[in-house]
Amino acid sequence: MLQTLTLRDFVIVDQIELDFASGFTVLTGETGAGKSILLDALGLVLGERADSSQIREGSNRAEISALFRVTATQMPHFNKWLDDQGFPTADDGQNLLLKRTVETNGRSRAFINGSVATLMQLREAGDQLVDIHGQHAHQLLLKGGAQRELLDRHANLISLGNEIGQAFKALSGSRRRLEQAENAGQHIERERELLEWQLKELVELSPQENEWNAILGEHARLANGAKIITGCQAAIDGLSDSEHSVESTLSRASAMICGLAEHDAVLSDISEALESAQIQIDEAVHSLNRYLQKLELDPARLEQVEQRMHALHGAARKYHIQADALPTLLLETTERLETLTASQNMAALREKVKQEEVTYLKLAKKLSQKRSDAATNLSKFVTDAMQDLSMAGGKLEIVLLPLHEGGANGLEQIEFLVAGHTGSTPRPLAKVASGGELARISLAISVITSKASFTPTLIFDEVDAGIGGAVAETVGKLLRQLGESHQILCVTHLPQVAAQGNHHLKVSKLQTVDKTVSQVMSLGRAERVEEIARMLGGTTITDTTLRHARELLE
């Protein structure tokens, strides 16, 4: 489970070290306080894409560390993964440290237990340690592909599905080559000679995927280097360096409004907006300066680029295609020549197709049976959960619709059908579920599928949006129940959910004269009453609100 999350110089976080416990932990706070920053930081240390804009203003590097406690008996597959990747394996109760740094030049580095790791390794480790359910996850349920993936993931069928995808790809290629060979006819020898000559020329040219667009972009930059430098410098002067720059004018206006805000709190939001604008302008100036430092005028490289452009353009005109289609032509020419060469042995081609059909069908039928069992199981459990989420009499049916010839994802497509109440006929999810119903069904599915998950830490990011009242209380109870077998972190705006947490963290934003920082504090009993009362009653907290908050906690 996640033990500690440490942030240094990340967005508006100076330095925070958060300790997490087992069970159900809720994170609350005002909108804009920085709850999303914590999840962004966790996502970054789990392998998501980094950006230099995530570095706190005035700092050279952002650093995020996540310390996990790994139990080998509960996560044997993860232990094997560590061993396969060359990292130290974990005994029971051993700590595992993931670390990510981001520098102002955009460079990012990853570490696992102090050893340098690739971003892919960090992402693979993160996928086994943490499962994040985003606040827009319910929208994905409307897509058939997402429904199939959810069912396969719940039943641990992703690996088998990948095998079938590879088998279908091989079978499709063999079928295409057989069909082309059968249609080649008497002109096969003449066409093969032409293709051999064409392939030799294309191999010598060696066009690369996306090379043409890259060449055009580089040529435009090199050919207009002086113009780019002059324009960027002029922009920097106007934004920052000149006497009447935008930055200085905005700074004066910001200082003036900040002072006036002491007399009228209504101006505070405007003051924040001006401060944010100053930061964005400063970031733009820094980015322009870094860009100019890297930009060079290089006549020799310009000549090389132009020669390459002429070569690619000439070949494209010769073959009557667009220049960016040359790599595809090279691939198609190679495949066609292989097909013609192999066509002299039709029996071998037919035998290959037959063998690959047997392999594909064997895997696909195995997947179909497992999907059918998993669909029955998941439908039942989600239907039971719907009864507690103000959808009495409703039910979910997961059906397998056969495909005529199968495909890369198996012999069927998966469709979720839902009936919202007793007596209604189950229909496709997108056609019958309202926004509130869809959110509740999604949450029920997330909770049910997570129960069978081997991932020790589950994060729910405002997945309770669109619900309230007694339903919200039920959701809180479901998450608390899930916390008995997993570590649960939940970002929520609902007091009914927050009151169910075993632990409570409050995120707030602290403003000083020269900076804004996020801070997080663990709440005790009395502080939880205050926070839940705030969530119930807003800025004005009455005795009635406090009493209601205590009742929720009890």
Q: What CATH number corresponds to the domain at position 97? A: 3.40.50.300
Instruction: Supply the Cα-derived Rg of the chain in whole angstroms.
Output: 30
pLDDT at 92: 56
DSSP letter, residue 424: P
Last residue of a domain, one of 310, 327, 342: 342
Range of weakest confidence among 33-37, 169-173, 274-278? 33-37
350 band by pLDDT with thresholds 50, 70 and 90: confident
Residues 268 and 121 in one domain: no
465 band by pLDDT with thresholds 50, 70 and 90: low
For residue 266, the tally of other CB atoms under 10 A from its CB is 9
pTM tops 0.85, yes or no: no
The tally of domains found in the chain comes to: 2
User: Mean of the per-residue pLDDT values for the chain?
Assistant: 83
User: What is the amino acid identity at position 124?
Assistant: E
Residues 2 and 125 in one domain: yes
Rounded average pLDDT over 129-152: 74
User: What is the amino acid identity at position 286?
Assistant: H
Residue 22 lies in a domain: yes
Residue 402 lies in a domain: no
10 Å CB burial of residue 323 (0-12, 13-18, 19+) is: buried
Report the range out of 29-33, 86-90, 346-350, 392-396 with the highest average pLDDT. 392-396
Residues 9 and 108 in one domain: yes
376 band by pLDDT with thresholds 50, 70 and 90: very high
pLDDT(348) > 90: no
Residue 168 lies in a domain: no
Rounded average pLDDT over 473-487: 86
Rounded average pLDDT over 221-250: 80
Last residue of a domain, one of 342, 366, 392: 342
Residue 320 lies in a domain: yes
Residues 39 and 108 in one domain: yes
The SS3 of residue 534 is helix
Percent with pLDDT over 70 in the chain: 90
Residues 203 and 305 in one domain: yes
Last residue of a domain, one of 301, 325, 342: 342
Residues 125 and 23 in one domain: yes
pLDDT(187) > 70: no
pLDDT(451) > 80: no
Residues 259 and 323 in one domain: yes
Rounded average pLDDT over 128-151: 74
d(CA 165, CA 160): 9
Residue 447 lies in a domain: no
Rounded average pLDDT over 192-220: 88
Rounded average pLDDT over 380-386: 86
pLDDT at 410: 92
| Alpha-carbon dihedral 307, 309, 312, 318, rounded to 10 degrees | -90
pLDDT at 74: 62
Residue 280 lies in a domain: yes
d(CA 229, CA 126): 42
Q: Which domain holds residue 213?
A: 185-342
**Higher pLDDT pick, 371 / 456:** 371
Residue found under tokens 């237990």: 113
Residues 193 and 324 in one domain: yes
Residues 247 and 315 in one domain: yes
Residue 13 lies in a domain: yes
pLDDT(399) > 70: yes
Residues 237 and 110 in one domain: no
